[in-house]
Amino acid sequence: MSERLQPGDVAPAFTLPDADGKDVSLSDHKGRKVIVYFYPAALTPGCTKQACDFTDNLDVLAGAGYDVIGISPDAPEKLARFRDKESLKVTLLADPDKKVTEAYAAYGEKKNYGKTYLGVIRSTIIVDESGKVERALYNVRATGHVAKIIKDLGI
């Protein structure tokens, strides 16, 4: 398991398929700030709430120079169903082998109802225009998280 990213670290490069199977790279967003968020599974209540919150605030975030990318271990086909069912406007990327999720330290030990297991740790990494980590937030809550990001970034 990777060590958690810190402000100033170079954000790990990635290229992953989106919901339509088209490759999207972090480098495609060079010169823009990028909010990369990791979530456990499409079409689940918490992840739906979080994705809808990002979609509802996309104009505000984009106006402040931020692109938003959501990454989960789901297959592109499931991401397409998720996007279409919830009318999502954020870019959703598939990381089925969890290599990118692990590179961002968003995969690891979790506890739920007294059981310990490995899974996706709900995390948000904010990458600046030059590809460096501006903020790294781990174990975030699905509800209220987007509002907190907007407040913390002073948008």
DSSP letter (8 states) at residue 10: B
Among residues 16, 35, 47, 125, the one annotated as catalytic is 47
Q: Decide if 52 is catalytic.
A: no
Q: From residue 127, how far is each of 8, 102, 113, 130 by CA, in Å?
A: 9, 17, 33, 8
CA distance 52 to 78: 16
Segments in the chain forming alpha helices (H): 45-56, 58-63, 76-86, 99-103, 145-152
Reduced DSSP (H G I as helix, E B as strand, rest coil) percent helix, strand, coil of the chain, to 5: 30, 30, 40
Which residues are known to be catalytic?
47
